[in-house]
Chain A
Amino acid sequence: MHLFETSRLSVSIGNTRVCDALDFSIDAGDRCCILGRNGTGKTTLLHTLAGLRPALAGDIKLRDQSLQQLPRKTIAQHIGLLFQDHTDAFPASVIETVLSGRHPWMGPLQWESEQDVAMARTALRAVGLDDMEQRIVTTLSGGERRRLGIACLLTQNPQLQLLDEPTNHLDIHHQISMLELLQQQAQHDHKALLFVMHDINLASRYCNRFLLLFGDGETAQGSAAEVLTHTHLERLYRHPLQTVAGPHGTLWLPG
Chain B
Amino acid sequence: MRALTLLALLLLLTLASLLISLVSGSVSIGWNGLLAVLSGGGDALATQVIMELRGPRAVAAFTTGALLSVAGALMQVLLRNPLADPYVLGVSGGAATGALLALLLGLGGLGLHSAAFCGALLSMLLVFGLSHGSGNWTTSRLLLTGVVIAAGWGAVIGFLLALSPDQGLRGMLFWLMGDLSYASSPASGLLVLVTGLLLAIATGRSLNIFTQGEQTAAALGISVVPLRRFIYLLASLLTATAVTLAGSIGFVGLIVPHMLRLAGVRDHRLLLPAAALLGGSLLIIADTLARTLLAPRQLPVGILTALVGVPLFLLLLHHGRNVHGEAR
A residues whose Cβ falls under 8 Å from a Cβ of B: 47, 50, 52, 71-77, 80-81, 83, 86-87, 89-93, 96-97, 100-101, 103-104, 106, 108-109, 111, 135-136, 138-139, 156
B residues whose Cβ falls under 8 Å from a Cβ of A: 76-77, 80-82, 202-203, 205-206, 208-209, 211-213, 215-216, 218-223, 261, 266-267, 269, 323-326
Asked if A83 contacts B209 (CB within 8 A), the reply is: no
Asked if B220 contacts A76 (CB within 8 A), the reply is: yes
Closest to B224 in A: A72
The distance in angstroms between the C-alpha atoms of A217 and B314, with both chains bound, is: 56
The distance in angstroms between the C-alpha atoms of A128 and B212, with both chains bound, is: 22
Asked if A96 contacts B325 (CB within 8 A), the reply is: no
Q: List 12 A-B contacts (CB under 8 A).
A: A47-B215, A52-B215, A52-B218, A52-B219, A73-B221, A74-B221, A92-B212, A93-B266, A100-B212, A108-B203, A108-B205, A139-B325
Asked if B80 contacts A87 (CB within 8 A), the reply is: yes
CB distance from A173 to the nearest CB of B (A): 27
Asked if A90 contacts B261 (CB within 8 A), the reply is: yes
Asked if B76 contacts A103 (CB within 8 A), the reply is: no
The distance in angstroms between the C-alpha atoms of A74 and B221, with both chains bound, is: 7
Asked if A89 contacts B326 (CB within 8 A), the reply is: no
The distance in angstroms between the C-alpha atoms of A139 and B323, with both chains bound, is: 11
Closest to A112 in B: B205
Closest to A79 in B: B219
The distance in angstroms between the C-alpha atoms of A103 and B207, with both chains bound, is: 11
Asked if B266 contacts A83 (CB within 8 A), the reply is: no
Given contacts A76-B221, A106-B205, A108-B203, 8 further A-B contacts (CB under 8 A): A52-B215, A87-B212, A92-B266, A100-B208, A100-B220, A103-B220, A138-B324, A139-B324
Asked if B218 contacts A89 (CB within 8 A), the reply is: no
Task: Name the contact of B205 in the complex, choosing from A77, A81, A93, A103 (C-beta under 8 A).
Answer: A103
Asked if A80 contacts B219 (CB within 8 A), the reply is: yes
Closest to B219 in A: A81
CB distance from A60 to the nearest CB of B (A): 15
The distance in angstroms between the C-alpha atoms of A86 and B202, with both chains bound, is: 25
CB distance from B213 to the nearest CB of A (A): 3
The distance in angstroms between the C-alpha atoms of A224 and B164, with both chains bound, is: 80
Asked if A90 contacts B219 (CB within 8 A), the reply is: no
The distance in angstroms between the C-alpha atoms of A83 and B323, with both chains bound, is: 23
A-B pairs with the 6 shortest C-beta distances? A76-B221, A136-B325, A87-B213, A104-B221, A73-B221, A89-B80
CB distance from A136 to the nearest CB of B (A): 3
Asked if B324 contacts A100 (CB within 8 A), the reply is: no
Asked if A90 contacts B266 (CB within 8 A), the reply is: yes
Asked if B326 contacts A136 (CB within 8 A), the reply is: yes
CB distance from B52 to the nearest CB of A (A): 40
Asked if A92 contacts B220 (CB within 8 A), the reply is: no
Asked if A86 contacts B219 (CB within 8 A), the reply is: no
Please, which residues of chain A bring their CB within 8 A of the CB of B269?
111
Please, which residues of chain A bring their CB within 8 A of the CB of B76?
89-90
Asked if B261 contacts A83 (CB within 8 A), the reply is: no
Known pairs A136-B324, A139-B325; A86 contacts B212 (CB<8 A): yes
CB distance from A88 to the nearest CB of B (A): 8
Asked if A103 contacts B209 (CB within 8 A), the reply is: yes
Please, which residues of chain B bring their CB within 8 A of the CB of A75?
221
Please, which residues of chain B bring their CB within 8 A of the CB of A111?
269
Known pairs A96-B266, A109-B202, A136-B326; A103 contacts B222 (CB<8 A): yes
Closest to A103 in B: B220
Task: Please indicate which of the listed interface residues B76, B80, B219, B269 has the most CB atoms of chain A within 10 Å of its own CB.
Answer: B219
Asked if A104 contacts B267 (CB within 8 A), the reply is: no
The distance in angstroms between the C-alpha atoms of A32 and B266, with both chains bound, is: 38
Task: Name the contact of A50 in the complex, choosing from B77, B212, B219 (C-beta under 8 A).
Answer: B219
Please, which residues of chain B bring their CB within 8 A of the CB of A100?
208-209, 212, 220
Closest to B209 in A: A100
Please, which residues of chain B bring their CB within 8 A of the CB of A89?
76, 80-82, 211
Asked if A91 contacts B218 (CB within 8 A), the reply is: no
Please, which residues of chain A bring their CB within 8 A of the CB of B261?
90
Closest to A76 in B: B221
The distance in angstroms between the C-alpha atoms of A73 and B206, with both chains bound, is: 12
Known pairs A96-B266, A139-B325; A83 contacts B216 (CB<8 A): yes
